[in-house]
């Protein structure tokens, strides 16, 4: 696999200035109770504190800034999502006066759908999973002459890398960082920031064991599709790995951890109990992986990212009750 060029330090810093026009850097804290649970210094990066409650907004802002810089702003963009990417693109499209259509799978999060509509997004429900929605978005964009915004692109990664740039600079002593893998922008961004800063932290990828395309693809050295059946970690429910993201992860990830929905639910409860922050399923996956590997983390400095808080209220109520 040919590894694509990752954003440079200068490109990440430029993307940060774009992001900071909309909101300030998000905080990172060493949480005492989480650290006690883990037996390690546990730092949490709070990407649940962005205007859309998730890290993805950074990528949308950098993607549209790149289009504007090239004089290529379209009249309409079309993309697919399980929710957070769609809010990101919807936010940025609205800011640039561009029409935005987002395709979601049937049965998608009702509250994420409502949030996208509130940003002026035209929502289309199509397909039984993200991959079917993404394929439909591509066909729709071609038929309508719209720009299809992919869920993985280096202009997205540049923006996403700004939160890792913030996190790694704030915690120079970090030994290992855990990052969930959906389609790969978050994990590739972590790698980009680590390399750009020369930070020594090991980057560990996290997948749902009910969405293992990246685990299987990394083992095989090529894209291998796998069913995506997790309902709780919907932000990680990807059936087909992106080849460019796979190449980056294969070259730079320390290893991959698989987490179950039960482990994710336990992590959501732990984060709420210990920090009173809300984590959606994918948002708790990094801590779930660290908890799974806690025996090997004793005495280390561990970074986990709370990638988003956008979980439907009935789902979170069930999780808190132990369901």
Give the model's pLDDT for residue 70: 97
Q: Does the structure show a pLDDT above 90 at 231?
A: no
pLDDT of residue 270: 98
Cβ-in-10-Å burial (0-12, 13-18, 19+) of 108 comes to buried
Domains of the chain: 9-55+154-320 (3.40.50.1100), 57-148 (3.40.50.1100)
Q: Could you read off the pLDDT of 112-130 as tens digits, one per residue?
A: 999 999 999 999 999 999 9
323 pLDDT more than 80: no
| pTM score, whole prediction | 0.96
pLDDT value of residue 21: 97
Answer yes or no: are the C-beta atoms of 232 and 323 closer than 8 Å.
no
Q: What is the CA radius of gyration of the chain?
A: 18
Query: What ranges make up the beta strands (E) of the chain?
Result: 28-30, 41-46, 76-80, 99-104, 122-125, 147-148, 176-180, 202-208, 255-259, 301-306
- The pLDDT confidence band at residue 1, using thresholds 50, 70 and 90, is confident
Under 8 Å between Cβ of 102 and 81: yes
**Which candidate, 259, 111, 128, places its Cα nearest to that of 181?**
259
Does the pLDDT of residue 216 top 90, yes or no? yes
| pLDDT at residue number 170 | 98
CA distance 77 to 48: 25
250 has a pLDDT exceeding 80: yes
| pLDDT averaged over every residue in the chain | 97
SS3 at position 211: strand
Q: What is the pLDDT of residues 261-315, one digit of tens each?
A: 999 999 999 999 999 999 999 999 999 999 999 999 999 999 999 999 999 999 9
């Amino acid at each position: 696999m040919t590894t694509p060029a990752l954003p440079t330090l200068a490109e990440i810093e430029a993307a940060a200035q774009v992001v900071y026009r909309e909101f300030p850097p998000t905080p990172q804290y060493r949480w005492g109770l989480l650290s006690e649970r883990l037996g390690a210094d546990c730092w949490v990066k709070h990407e649940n504190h962005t205007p859309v409650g998730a890290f993805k907004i950074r990528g949308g802002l950098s993607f549209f800034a790149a289009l504007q810089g090239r004089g290529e702003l379209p009249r309409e963009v079309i993309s697919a999502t399980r929710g957070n990417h769609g809010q990101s693109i919807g936010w940025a499209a609205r800011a640039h006066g561009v029409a935005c259509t987002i395709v979601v799978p049937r049965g998608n999060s009702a509250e994420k759908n409502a949030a996208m509509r509130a940003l002026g997004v035209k929502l289309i429900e199509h397909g039984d999973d993200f991959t079917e929605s993404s394929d439909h978005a591509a066909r729709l964009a071609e038929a309508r002459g719209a720009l299809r915004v992919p869920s993985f692109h280096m202009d997205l990664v540049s923006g996403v890398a700004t939160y890792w740039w913030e996190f790694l600079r704030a915690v120079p002593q970090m030994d290992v960082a855990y990052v969930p893998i959906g389609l790969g922008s978050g994990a590739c961004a972590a790698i980009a920031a680590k390399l750009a800063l020369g930070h020594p932290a090991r980057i560990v990828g996290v997948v749902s064991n009910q969405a293992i395309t990246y685990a299987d693809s990394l083992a095989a050295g090529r894209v291998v599709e796998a069913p995506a059946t997790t309902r709780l970690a919907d932000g990680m429910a990807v059936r087909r790995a992106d080849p460019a993201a796979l190449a980056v992860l294969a070259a730079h990830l320390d290893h991959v951890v698989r987490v179950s929905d039960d482990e994710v639910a336990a992590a959501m409860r732990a984060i709420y109990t210990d920090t009173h922050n809300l984590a959606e399923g994918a948002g708790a996956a990094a801590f779930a992986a660290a908890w799974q590997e806690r025996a090997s983390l004793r005495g280390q400095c561990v970074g986990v990212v709370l990638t988003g808080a956008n979980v439907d209220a009935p789902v979170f109520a069930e999780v808190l009750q132990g369901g």
